[in-house]
Copies of this chain bind each other. A is one copy, B any other.
Amino acid sequence: MDREHLKGRHPREIRAVIREGGFNEDTVGLAEGYVQANLVVVPQDQALDLLIFCQRNPQPCPVLEVTDTGEPSLKYMAQDADIRTDLAMYKIWEKGRCVADVENITDYWSDELVGVLLGCSWSFDWALLNAGIRLRHMEQGSAAPAYLSSIQCEPAGVFHGPVVVTMRPILKHQVARAVQTSSRYPAAHGAPVHVGDPAQIGIASLQDEYFGETSSLTELEPDEVPVFWACGVTPQAVAIEAHLDFMISHFPGRMFITDVPIEEIAMF
């Protein structure tokens, strides 16, 4: 099923299509007005450290829900959902390397795993649009470009590593409004971590996208300022940096789509 056919559908309908293997692209622009989420799955014996890591790093890792151990369904963010099948693509991480990209994690699931949903900045893109802020990636139907920054997470247990960020070119007269509006959504990464010169957070060039793509967004227009938000792909950079024994994550861009309207997670 193509992206156009999914527009306007309720999250549970989109999840059903994804579950059946009917859609395998990134979920940007889908489920307008609903919260999307990053996924991190770890063995129970690492879950405490992961949650402490999230508590210490609330901008990259805002926790939306934690599953009970071994339980693939959710209680709060979606009904009749199964985190093993309801994302379009997953990454399997072993000893700090991605060893497989898979369409579901049923074969990898066990009673010892804990799933953590983290907020995603795509959630507040809708709020930014509603505030009249131009978002070129939304106009193009593409994901905001991501970068590895030099900002280091606060470590916890085995978890340590750099913060991954997304960048949105914002018109210079709309930067303050973009800060204000995104600040209302701490559960979706909240305020930017940096405004302006990419080099100040270790990004030598906007061409150096984390996922190797080059989007037209990396060429700024004269009246645009690059604004950087923490990204929920950060745990994947942590898996690499910290050589984590085992982790499952969503495939970047293929998010879990929740039933929760973004205004429900707004601070006020």
A contact residues vs B (CB 8 Å cutoff):
44, 47-48, 51-52, 55-56, 63, 65-66, 68, 76, 114, 154, 156-157, 180, 183, 186, 191, 267-268
Inside 8 A of A114's CB, which chain B residues have their CB?
Answer: 48
Instruction: Give how many copies assemble into the complex.
Output: 2
Q: Is the CB of A267 within 8 A of B51?
A: no
Residue in chain B with minimal CB distance to A268: B183
Task: Using known A-B contacts A56-B76, A76-B56, determine if residue A186 contacts B267 with beta carbons closer than 8 Å.
Answer: yes
Closest 5 CB pairs of A and B: A48-B48, A51-B51, A183-B268, A52-B66, A55-B63
**A160 CB to nearest chain B CB (Å):** 13
Inside 8 A of A154's CB, which chain B residues have their CB?
Answer: 76
**A156 CB to nearest chain B CB (Å):** 8
**A263 CB to nearest chain B CB (Å):** 15
Of the listed residues A52, A114, A156, A268, the one surrounded by the most CB atoms of chain B closer than 10 A to its CB is A52
How far, in angstroms, from A47 to B157 measured CA to CA in the complex?
Answer: 14
**A249 CB to nearest chain B CB (Å):** 19
Inside 8 A of A180's CB, which chain B residues have their CB?
Answer: 268
Q: Is the CB of B66 within 8 A of A267?
A: no
